[in-house]
Chain A
Amino acid sequence: MTATAENRAAAVAPADPMVPRPFRIVRRQRELSDTFTMELTAEDGQPFDFRPGQFNMLYAFGAGVSAISISGEKSSGRLLHTVRAVGTVTDRLQALRKGDVVGLRGPFGRPWPVDRARRRDVLIIAGGIGLAPLRPAIHHVLANRGDYGRVLILYGARTPDDILFPKDLKAWRSRFDVFVDVTVDRAAPGWAGKIGVVPDLIERAAFSAEDATAMVCGPEVMMLFTVRALLRAGMAEEDVYVSMERNMKCAVGFCGHCQFGGRFVCKDGPVFAYTDIAHHMTVREL
């Protein structure tokens, strides 16, 4: 083998973005019957920076990987992930306990437009587990409260028992500078709140449609109807942001699974301005 060919073959390769790093579960908390939050720290002690709306690929040993949004930061380097157990990987993650180790790659994806939303009214609209990816955006807006106009949090869950982060919602509601409204699809005994779907909350919310930014996360149909209600209320398509979900095997644009028309949800999203994907949102089976 000649020197040139050999040297090139032996050159040290940069890190493979498909290889996970070990992270330890330092705290674990049950949220709902099927939903829990894990607090993670890197085993290698490296700092971890992320922006609201980004996600990680979490690896459960022997089971596989799932895309899970970052649902907050306990303190610097202590990441929160809130997971709903729905299948192979998420069930395995649910079975893990404090002290166990997961694999993690990230952070990935484009964030919520918390900078672009500055000096404007902010609508945070979530359905179900969709509140988890929005919580870092809420934290950011509240930590910089003076930078924003009116702040509205509109949230919908299936039943009162499915309301995620009830303590947070209560704390946000107790502030005088945040408007919080919660609705459920189906009431239960003792529920004194609203019954109905999230888009209904928009009609009764006070904000200036021409000067607001909306961040929406939930099941795809919920997002579609919410966007329609926002547009009816006078908002422009470019001021409405949604977070899309697709099958993901890599999160770095290599595996092709997350394609949505001409976009990769993993690296061009998951947060999109509605204008950019409006023409594809209503195409069936895309």
Chain B
Amino acid sequence: MPPPDTPVVPSPTPTPALRLDAGRLPHLLAVLTADGRELIGPVVSGGAIVYGPITGADDLPKGLVDDQAPGRYRLVAGESGTYFDHVATANSWKTFLFPPEQKICDIAHADGALTVTAPPVDAPARAFIGVRACDLRAMGILGKVFDNGDFADPAYAARRRNALIVAVNCGRAGGTCFCTSMGTGPKADGGYDLALTEVPAGGDGAPAYFTLVAGSDAGRRILDRLDLNRATAAEVETAAARVAACADSMGREMIADAAEMLGDNLDSPHWQTVAERCLNCANCTMACPTCFCSTVEDVTDLTGDNAERWRKWDSCFTLDHSYMHGGSLRRSGAARYRQWITHKLAHWHDQFGTSGCTGCGRCITWCPVGIDITEEARAVRDRAAGT
């Protein structure tokens, strides 16, 4: 039986909420830039909202929302002209904390000796703008992977340490979100420096605003430079009600006993059923904010005297992932899908004391054939129960 969930990040005691007029969001971003930070936030790219470098509020996808469903993603105009009513982005913060390709070292071969040179750690000071509760949890989970009690990845730690987190509590549930059933959102409950809740302009002409709290000393220092007023009790309540309504409207959920049930059903006939649909494209593992698998490649230059070792994202959906002399261990698609879902939902608990899934829904949206992790877990359970 997996150990009970342990909190991934401690809950901070946030400061009392301040009010930031929506029109002053550029000011907040300017203060963060003046703090020496590169800003990374939501931007439209290739027909989707992704996290990428931004220079100010004008780069944000104001007024756009994402229509997400299994195997489907579309950008449409939102109803309330907000900055942050889109949900999970196509990429995740993993891209910035654990880059898809990183050089481990250069190795030079000369005069019968090997000289190993590790590059300096690339960990720029950044501010992450618009981090959702589910993605905050994902960062906590990745933090445990790359500091696992036996070994720590100094580059990951430095990049995480140098990122200031500006969280956004979600005001709208996406079509593939299920964070409430994973206990991860839609409200950020720790691990951030600043957290915003957006309230759109009222029908009565009341202007749009954010409530803003700090969850760390670094966040407090930023707030000190903004010169903001306390939010009124009514404003705090309006903001909280929006987040609560988002939670209530979430249309998807993970079954409660997924961890134990999947661990007990490694021989389910359902793996074969999913395998008949699964294309083994690995999209789900690339999109997932917690999938951490990597491989290492050696690149030699033309002289043959210099090699570079590169660490690159990998996926358990490839045959190479489980290759051993003589062939792959997980030859069938059924075994590879089983590895993915049982790792996310069951074996992650054994490894890290937490689920590997945050309920962000990315794997559902970006699956070309719309395979839904919540539906597949339910189907395994139902077939085990003979219903």
Contacts and interface: CB of A to CB of B under 8 A. Distances in A.
Interface string B306-342: 0101010010100011111100011110110001001
Interface in A254-286: 254-257, 259, 261-264, 267, 280, 283-286
A63 B311 CA distance: 15
Q: Which 4 A-B pairs have the closest CB atoms?
A: A262-B350, A1-B36, A5-B125, A285-B335
Contacts of B293: 255-257
B292 interface: yes
Nearest to B158: A13
A149 interface: no
A19 to B, nearest CB: 5
A27 interface: no
A1 B125 contact: yes
B109 interface: yes
B304 A254 contact: no
B207 interface: no
B161 A19 contact: no
A101 interface: yes
Contacts of A17: 151-153
A100 interface: yes
B158 A257 contact: no
Contacts of A20: 105, 107, 116
B307 A61 contact: yes
A13 B155 contact: yes
Contacts of A285: 329-332, 334-335
B286 to A, nearest CB: 14
B315 to A, nearest CB: 9
A254 B351 contact: no
B154 A13 contact: yes
B296 A255 contact: yes
Interface stretch (A167-175, A235-243, A244-252): A244-252
B116 A103 contact: yes
B107 A101 contact: no
A58 to B, nearest CB: 12
A9 B158 contact: yes
Interface string A78-105: 0000000011000000000001111100
Interface stretch (B70-78, B142-150, B358-366): B142-150
Given A8-B162, A250-B296, A254-B153, A18 B311 contact: yes
A43 interface: yes
Contact of A99 (B112, B295, B324): B112
Interface of B: 2, 35-37, 104-105, 107, 109, 112-116, 118, 121, 123-125, 145-146, 148, 150-155, 157-158, 161-162, 263, 266-267, 292-298, 300, 304, 307, 309, 311, 314, 316, 320-325, 329-332, 334-335, 339, 342-343, 346-351
Contacts of A267: 148, 150-151
B127 to A, nearest CB: 10
25 contacts: A1-B36, A1-B125, A2-B35, A5-B162, A8-B125, A9-B123, A9-B124, A18-B105, A20-B105, A43-B113, A62-B298, A62-B304, A86-B325, A100-B112, A101-B114, A249-B314, A254-B145, A256-B292, A256-B293, A261-B347, A262-B347, A264-B351, A283-B267, A285-B329, A285-B332
Choose among B145, B148, B296, B334 the residue with the greatest number of A CB atoms under 10 Å from its CB.
Answer: B296
Given A14-B154, A18-B311, A252-B151, A286 B266 contact: yes
A6 interface: yes
Nearest to A245: B324
A196 interface: no
Given A8-B158, A101-B114, A255-B293, 6 more contacts: A19-B105, A253-B145, A255-B294, A262-B263, A262-B347, A263-B350
Given A16-B154, A19-B104, A267-B151, A5 B294 contact: no
Contacts of B145: 253-254
Contact of A249 (B37, B113, B295, B348): B295
* Interface range on chain A (Cβ under 8 Å from partner): 35 or more
A5 B349 CA distance: 35
Given A16-B154, A250-B294, A262 B323 contact: no
A224 to B, nearest CB: 15
Contacts, number: 167
A77 interface: no
A11 interface: yes
A61 B109 contact: yes
A89 to B, nearest CB: 9
B125 A252 contact: no
A107 interface: no
A43 B116 CA distance: 12
A28 interface: no
A20 B116 CA distance: 7
Interface in A183-210: none
A2 B298 CA distance: 38
Nearest to A267: B150
A253 B153 CA distance: 10
Given A19-B104, A254-B146, A255-B314, A2 B36 contact: yes
B60 to A, nearest CB: 22
A15 interface: yes
Contacts of B263: 261-262
Contact of B112 (A6, A101, A264): A101
A74 to B, nearest CB: 21
Choose among B153, B330, B331, B335 the residue with the greatest number of A CB atoms under 10 Å from its CB.
Answer: B153
A65 interface: yes
B226 to A, nearest CB: 16
B329 A246 contact: yes
A51 interface: no
Nearest to B326: A86
Choose among B118, B157, B297, B334 the residue with the greatest number of A CB atoms under 10 Å from its CB.
Answer: B118
A169 B157 CA distance: 48
B152 A19 contact: no
A262 B349 contact: yes
B125 A6 contact: yes
A259 B292 CA distance: 12
